């Protein structure tokens, strides 16, 4: 059963290496934004004359953004929604309706192949970054934290991919999904913790965000790794994260089912 998806995974690897130089440069220069982030926060903390911002001093803030870059490289879908929308718009989706191949499984296999190569290539620059900022680096001491972080990271990847997948399925109804993608990424950029740690925001807003999917795509896994959430709070966060994985998966299944019915009726 899984052999066909392994073959898709292998094809994804081969397709990635077709444009290897473009892929390599894109992977390596993906770490450049961290430099700007470090300079900005250095200026912010300098203006506070060494004072903390929330629970963060300069060292912990830099380590936060190094982890954010790492997680972004590990889980963020790259052009998956555009490829899915193209399959629908150009009629290539028809091949999956007559073959024993689940389209979601197909896209997940390609996503995993791309992220595997991307992560492998960026390991070297990321390792150099960690070495450069070694004075700011702290790792969890509790082995259970590593397990919880791994679980949270997998669910964060699932939320990110399934959200992009669900948005792309709107191509069954609209010709151009770029506006939806822009809106989605705008929310993700500001509410996932990519721009700044969410726990420096007002308490009422933090409470609201706990029930939205965006913090669980980046901020929550970082908090788990930094051991800022433990015990019941950690279990609660993992349960909310799992609930969002299920919700986004369910939404994508409904959109696929209704979209295919519309697609077949139109094709017929």
Convert the pLDDT of each residue in 65-87 to its tens digit: 888 888 888 888 877 888 888 88
Please tell me the total count of domains within the chain: 1
| CB of 153 closer than 8 Å to CB of 75 | yes
The conformation of residue 56, written as its DSSP 8-state character, comes to B
Report the C-alpha gap between 89 and 214 in whole angstroms.
Answer: 28
Report the C-alpha gap between 83 and 22 in whole angstroms.
Answer: 18
DSSP states of 85-152: HHHHHTTTTHHHHSSS--HHHHHHHHHHHHHHHHHHHHHHHHHHHHHHTGGG----SSHHHHHHHHHH
Report the range of poorest mean pLDDT among 49-58, 75-84, 232-241, 253-262.
Answer: 49-58
Q: Which of 77, 56, 255 is nearest to 172 (CA)?
A: 255
Q: What would the mean pLDDT of 225-245 be, rounded to a whole number?
A: 94
100 is in which domain, residue-wise?
3-267
| CB of 88 closer than 8 Å to CB of 171 | yes
Half-sphere exposure of 210 (CA within 13 A, CB side): 17
Give pLDDT tens digits for 143-191. Answer: 899 999 999 999 999 999 999 999 999 998 988 888 888 888 888 888 9
Sign of CA dihedral 111, 70, 188, 192: positive
Q: What band does 50 get if pLDDT is binned at 50, 70 and 90?
A: low
Report the C-alpha gap between 77 and 59 in whole angstroms.
Answer: 29
Report the C-alpha gap between 199 and 206 in whole angstroms.
Answer: 7
Q: Which of 121, 103, 101, 117 is nearest to 1 (CA)?
A: 101
State residue 245's pLDDT score.
97
């Amino acid at each position: 059963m899984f052999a066909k998806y392994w073959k898709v995974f292998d094809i994804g690897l081969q397709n990635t290496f077709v444009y290897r130089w473009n892929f390599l440069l894109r992977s390596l220069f993906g770490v450049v934004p961290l430099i700007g982030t470090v300079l900005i926060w250095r200026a912010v903390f300098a203006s506070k004359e060494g004072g903390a911002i929330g629970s963060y001093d300069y060292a912990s803030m830099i380590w936060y953004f190094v982890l954010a870059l790492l997680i972004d490289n590990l889980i963020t879908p790259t052009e998956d929604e555009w490829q899915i929308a193209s399959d629908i718009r150009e009629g290539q989706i028809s091949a999956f309706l007559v073959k024993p191949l689940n389209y979601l499984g197909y896209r997940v296999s390609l996503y995993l192949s791309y992220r595997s190569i991307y992560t492998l290539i960026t390991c070297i620059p990321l390792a150099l970054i960690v070495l450069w900022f070694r004075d700011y680096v702290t790792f969890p001491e509790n082995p259970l934290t590593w397990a919880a972080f791994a679980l949270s990271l997998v669910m964060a990847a699932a939320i990110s991919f399934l959200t992009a997948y669900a948005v792309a399925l709107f191509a069954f109804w609209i010709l151009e999904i770029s506006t939806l993608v822009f809106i989605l990424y705008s929310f993700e950029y500001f509410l996932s913790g990519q721009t700044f740690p969410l726990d420096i925001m007002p308490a009422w807003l933090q409470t609201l965000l706990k029930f939205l999917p965006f913090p669980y795509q980046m901020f929550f896994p970082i908090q788990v790794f930094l051991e800022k959430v433990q015990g019941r709070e950690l279990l609660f966060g993992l349960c909310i994260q799992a609930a969002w994985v299920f919700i986004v998966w369910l939404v994508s299944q409904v959109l696929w089912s209704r979209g295919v019915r519309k697609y077949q009726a139109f094709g017929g």
